[in-house]
């Protein structure tokens, strides 16, 4: 998936995760909603990993810091980065 499409997908599944999370705040025992949340959370996590692998981390939490602090490798927003 190209970078633009992957970012859009991340936005879409992130919205779904946030939205269902708000619903679960008032309906914490809704098994169908919990299943929906788990599905979209997994899709988001996979997409974030794919994005970080191919284009660099979107969040500091996605930095691969085992060997090197990769957060600094991508251009900053004011230098043309996203």
Domain borders along the chain are 3-72
The model scores a pTM over 0.85: no
The conformation of residue 75, written as its DSSP 8-state character, comes to P
Residue-wise pLDDT for 35-81, tens only, equals: 999 999 999 999 999 998 888 888 877 766 665 566 566 676 677 76
| Between 76 and 23, residue with greater pLDDT | 23
| Tally: H helices and E strands in the chain | 2, 0
Mean pLDDT of 27-40: 96
Do residues 47 and 16 touch, judged by C-beta distance below 8 A?
A: no
């Amino acid at each position: 998936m190209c970078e633009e499409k992957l970012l859009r997908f991340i936005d879409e599944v992130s919205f779904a995760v946030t939205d269902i999370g708000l619903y679960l705040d008032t309906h914490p025992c809704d098994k169908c909603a919990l299943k929906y949340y788990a599905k979209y959370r997994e899709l988001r996590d996979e997409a974030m990993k794919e994005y970080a692998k191919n284009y660099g981390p979107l969040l500091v939490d996605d930095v691969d810091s085992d060997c090197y602090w990769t957060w600094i490798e991508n251009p900053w927003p004011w230098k043309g980065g996203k």
